[in-house]
Amino acid sequence: MAAKGFKYEEFAQNLAAQAQDLVPADFSPEERQYVINTLGNFSMMAGKALAEDKNLPFDVDTSTYITQIIAEWSFHKSVDVIRSGIPRANWDGVMQKIAYTIFEVAKQAFSQKMPNEQIIEIIEHHVNKTYVDAITELKDKGIIDESLMEYAASQSNMNKMAQEMQAQAQAQAQGAQVAADGAIADGQNLPQVAQGSTEPAKAEPPGVESKALKLATVAMLLNRMNQDRVQTFLDRFDENDAQDVVKYMKIPDLTQRVGVENAMRCLQEIKMNLPKASDLAPIKVVKKIKNFASKYSEKELETLLIKERIGVKRLVFTALEDKYYENIPPKVASIVATHLINSV
Task: Classify residue 238 as exposed, middle or buried by CB count within 10 Å of its CB (0-12, 13-18, 19+).
Answer: exposed
pLDDT of residue 55: 83
- Which segment, 12-16, 110-114, 247-251, is predicted with the most confidence on average? 12-16
Helix (H, G, I), strand (E, B) or coil at 331: helix
Could you tell me which of 2, 75, 76, 63 has the C-alpha nearest to residue 37? 75
pLDDT of residue 138: 92
pLDDT of residue 141: 92
Mean pLDDT of 38-55: 90
Could you tell me which of 111, 112, 123, 95 has the C-alpha nearest to residue 53? 111
Helix (H, G, I), strand (E, B) or coil at 329: coil
Confidence grade of residue 137 (pLDDT, cut at 50, 70, 90): very high
pLDDT in tens, 147-156: 998 898 888 7
Greater pLDDT, 92 or 335: 92
Count of C-beta atoms within a 10 Å radius of residue 295 = 11
pLDDT of residue 93: 94
Greater pLDDT, 341 or 34: 34
Residues 201/223/245/292 CA torsion (nearest 10 deg): -100
pLDDT in tens, 69-90: 999 899 999 999 999 888 999 9
| CA–CA gap between residue 293 and residue 319 (Å, rounded) | 9
Greater pLDDT, 5 or 128: 128
Count of C-beta atoms within a 10 Å radius of residue 304 = 17
Mean pLDDT of 311-329: 79
| CA–CA gap between residue 58 and residue 50 (Å, rounded) | 7
Confidence grade of residue 290 (pLDDT, cut at 50, 70, 90): confident
| CA–CA gap between residue 224 and residue 184 (Å, rounded) | 11
pLDDT of residue 307: 66
Confidence grade of residue 273 (pLDDT, cut at 50, 70, 90): low
| CA–CA gap between residue 265 and residue 275 (Å, rounded) | 18
pLDDT in tens, 170-217: 555 555 454 444 444 443 333 333 344 333 344 443 333 467 777 888
pLDDT of residue 268: 65
pLDDT of residue 154: 86
